[in-house]
Every structure is written in C-alpha cells, then in structure tokens.
Amino acid sequence: MSETLAPVRRGKLIINGEAVDALSGRTFETRNPATGERITDVAEAGADDVDCAVRAARAAFDGGPWRTMRPAERARLLWRLGDLVLAHADEIARLETLDNGKPIFESRQIDVPMVAGCFHYFSGWATKMAGDTTAVNPAWFTYTLREPLGVLGAILPWNFPMIMVGWKAAPALAAGNTVVIKPAAETPLTAIRIGELALEAGIPPGVFNVVPGRGSVAGEALVRHPLVDKISFTGSTEVGQHIMRTAADTVKKLTLELGGKSPNIVFADADLDAALRGATSAIFYGKGEVCAAGSRLLVEKSIYDDFVSRLAERARKLVPGDPLDPKTRLGALINENQMNHVLGASESGVKEGARLVAGGQRAPVGGRGTFVQATVLADVDNRMRVAQEEIFGPVLSVIPFEGVDDAVAKANDVFYGLASGVWTRDVKKAHLVSRALRAGTVWINMYNFFDPGMPFGGYKGSGFGRDLGAACLDDCTQVKSVWLNLE
C-alpha cells in the first residue's frame, strides 16, 4: 500500500470559480480506511462559506450566463466536463479508492465511466427539454415553459462520492440550474477534483460550487439557506427525515434517497449458476456499502440447502485485499464505526437465531484497515433485525420461501423499497413478480446495473424523487403556464 504515501494536494472549497480556503482557515483530515493513514487536509466549510457559495450560485443563476446561455453551448460545456473526467480517470479513481477504501477496479472501471457518462448523457438533454402547447380555447395561445428551479444543494454520502456528483450535478446543470455540492466529510476528494475540472471545462464561475465540511454545519446551513431552491440528498433515513423537517421552513423541494433492504429473489427454475454469481455481487460489490445492495436473499425452499452451501463457499473465496491492487474485489469499510456496526449486526443475527455460514470476522490486510469478511447468515427469519435494518456492509441475510405469493409477501414486508432482484427462467413469472414488488428498481436475471438513462430512486421508506433518466429532469425543473389572449 505504498502508493498511499504519494502526496495528494490539500483540498479546497470551490466557490464562485475559485479554489479557496475556508473563511475560518479551518481544515479537517481525510484518512485512508485501508491503512488508517492521513491522505491530506481539506478546507472545512462553515456556515459562512456555504453562504458565499449559495450567493455565488444565486447570482450565477439570476444574472449569470448559465440559464440564459444557448442550450447547445451548455451541452458543449457539460460534454467537455465528461471528457475531462475521462482524461483524468486514473487520478480520480486513485483518489476515490484512497478516500473510500473501495477496490480500484470499481473506482476505475465502473465509477469513473459512470460519472463521465452522466455528464455526457445529460448534456444531450440540455437541448431537448421542452414545454407543451395546449388546446384550451382558439381565442387564446396557451403553452407551458419548462424552467430550471434555481440553486440546487446536493448533499452526498461517502459510499459513491464521485458517482453522486454525476448523478446530482449533471441533470441539474443540463436543466440550467446552478449547484452547491456538500460531499461527505469522509470522502471529499473526488467532488473537489471534479469541481476543479468543471472550471477547466469552462463552466462559468458560481455555477458549480463544492463545500466540503461537516453535515451538522455545512449540510445544515445549505438546507436552511433561504436562497437554495432544492436539496437533493442521499444518505441515512434519520438525516433524511431531519432534512425534510428543516426544509419545511423555507418550503424547499426535496429529492431523498434513503437506502434500502433490498430483496433478491431466487426461484427454483432460475439459471442457478447465474443466480449464484448475481447473489454474490448483489451484496459484496462495493463492500455492501451500497444503498441498492441485495442484502436479503430469498431462496425457494426446494433449492435452498444446496444454494446456501454453494453461496457460502463462494463468499469464503472472496477475501478482502489491498484496494489499490487491481485484482482486489473486496475493499475496506469506510471507518471503524461502520466496521463495528457491521460486525455487531452480524453478531446480533446469530443471537436472533440465524446460522453463520461464512465470514463474520474482521480481516485486516497487512495487519491493518477496516476490512470485514464476506459474511452470509442463513435461515434468517424476515422479522429479525438483520432482515429489516440496513446493515450497509458485506453481510447477506438468506431467507427461505415457498412459492410466488410467499416470496412477494416477504420481499415487500420491510420499511424500505429501493431495489429488488428476480431470478427465474419463467418470463411470465418475472413480469408478474416485478409488478408486485414495491421497489423503485427491479433487476431480472441481473443485479446492480446502472445507467445514466435509467431512473433510480425509492418507493416507501427509501424516499422520493428520482436520480438519473429523463424522470429526474422533472425533479430539477418546474412548469410555468403561460396564457395569451389573442382577441
């Protein structure tokens, strides 16, 4: 892990087209979870810095060139930002892996292309958003304008720090909004770097601002700020609920994506080799620190014993390794708290009566780091805490079921409704179960696939509003009705 020692520049705030220190001069450390080493210091935004960023974003929206620029020009600049992300792919991927502990394979091969893909995909939408003309009365000309909301505040989690910049900023900017991004304090580096690249791409000052800092200070200031029109948040249920209450004071629009406890259903008639691979990557990809993780695996009783033993064998082979090694597929959890939470959750499952068939232990790499073994708990009852609460780590709860109705009932019997999976060769069953599942995404014979063109977001306790796809543009715009009397 010697690459950790290669210096990473001190992180600054990006406000009004400049990289600046915090007004207070305060900084905070960001650390590599795989080694515990300090990576660098980062300027820590206080409420005063957030105010400067919001005022810059407001000025750039109200009087600046972004909203009034020809959409084709906006598209060109966003496309350029996507290209710049790709041009710096290795550098950005390394920053992400150092900051988050995820395997470099994921940062470089999946996350970087996704971020660039977001800027490329949504640049195309800049020229294609349109209102309607409506036949109300021949004596009038009635039409709608689709207009940007104004200043959009994005509060990001630590599990996909750079991807979330693409998900939140790209559609908002394409629609003509300006943005203030508050990355998680655990993982500020890639959002800052993309903010710098936005300036290099020629995105005008004040349009793309980044304010790393504490959620309770910088995040709170962003949510309370009267000049912010909307908050787009991804993170924990508790903070999402708090933001919802706070945002009421200024009647802010919200998109909330609050995690999940997603069911992944394997029917006996599935291609079981594919289902086994899918069940494994559904939970262990991203160390299980994935809101959409297939953390509840429902397996039909007739194949249950055999499937569980093959799954356990596969999990035991997935050994955590140095995140900077391109061969590693299981990295370090974000910090010690999260590691202890994950280990505690798996212990609590065993106490509740689940059978531990793989993992369950800390697995330091080179004697250090917040690594946890790929863990499988079998014979889980859907009422247990490990079946109901988001663990956010590499812990899979396996639950047996009998028939379609039992599978659907168990799948839906949970607070969350973010994602789900169905494995079957029966096309009719696949579609009927997809309709019955109360979740924002259903993957059939695949899991954990994302594309800028496909909307993503929650049903039920997983939140509301959408990221990605044409659907998310509705959440970054508003409709104005215009009535013209022709008489």
- Verify binding: residue 259, ligand NDP, rule CB under 6 A: yes
| Nearest residue (beta carbon) to ligand NDP | 215
**Helix, strand or coil, per DSSP, at residue 390:** coil
- Give the integer Cα–Cα distance in Å for 329 and 320: 7
Contacts of 446 (CB under 8 A, 6+ apart): 278, 421
Nearer to ligand NDP, 219 or 320 (CB): 219
Active site residue 257: yes
Residues between 98 and 117 with contacts to ligand NDP, criterion CB under 6 A: none
Active site residue 476: no
Give me the sign of the Cα torsion angle 276, 282, 286, 289: negative
DSSP letter for each residue of 146-170: EEE-SEEEEE--SSSHHHHHHHHHH
Whole-number minimum distance, CB 182 to ligand NDP, in Å?
6
| Catalytic option among 118, 291, 472, 476 | 291
Q: Which stretch binds ligand NDP (CB under 6 A): 8-16, 257-265, 378-386, 449-457?
A: 257-265
Closest C-alpha to 440, from 311, 241, 255: 255
Kindly list the distances between the CA atom of residue 356 and the CA atoms of 279, 318, 376, 377, 390, in Å, as whole numbers in the listed order.
17, 16, 6, 5, 18
Task: Tell the residue number behind the tokens 């890639």, with chain if given.
Answer: 190
Interface residue with ligand NDP, options 179, 258, 324, 343 (CB under 6 A)? 258
Site string for ligand NDP, 277-296 (x = CB under 6 A): --------------x-----
Site string for ligand NDP, 213-252 (x = CB under 6 A): -xxx--xx--x----------xxx--x--xx---------
Whole-number minimum distance, CB 323 to ligand NDP, in Å?
18
Whole-number minimum distance, CB 403 to ligand NDP, in Å?
31
| Catalytic option among 106, 196, 257, 300 | 257
Contacts of 115 (CB under 8 A, 6+ apart): 82, 85, 92, 162, 163, 165, 166, 194
Whole-number minimum distance, CB 279 to ligand NDP, in Å?
20
Residues between 195 and 214 with contacts to ligand NDP, criterion CB under 6 A: 214
- Verify binding: residue 156, ligand NDP, rule CB under 6 A: yes
- Verify binding: residue 184, ligand NDP, rule CB under 6 A: yes
Task: Tell the residue number behind the tokens 């609460």, with chain if given.
Answer: 389
Nearer to ligand NDP, 225 or 329 (CB): 225
- Verify binding: residue 157, ligand NDP, rule CB under 6 A: yes
Contacts of 376 (CB under 8 A, 6+ apart): 308, 311, 312, 315, 356, 357, 358, 359, 395, 396, 398
Whole-number minimum distance, CB 76 to ligand NDP, in Å?
31
Q: Please, is 427 exposed, middle or buried when counting C-beta atoms within 10 Å of its C-beta (0-12, 13-18, 19+)?
A: exposed
Tokens, residue 381? 């009852």
Tokens, residue 236? 């924990």
| Interface residue list for ligand NDP (CB under 6 A) | 155-159, 182, 184-186, 214-216, 219-220, 223, 234-236, 239, 242-243, 257-259, 291, 390, 392
Catalogue the active-site residues. Answer: 257, 291
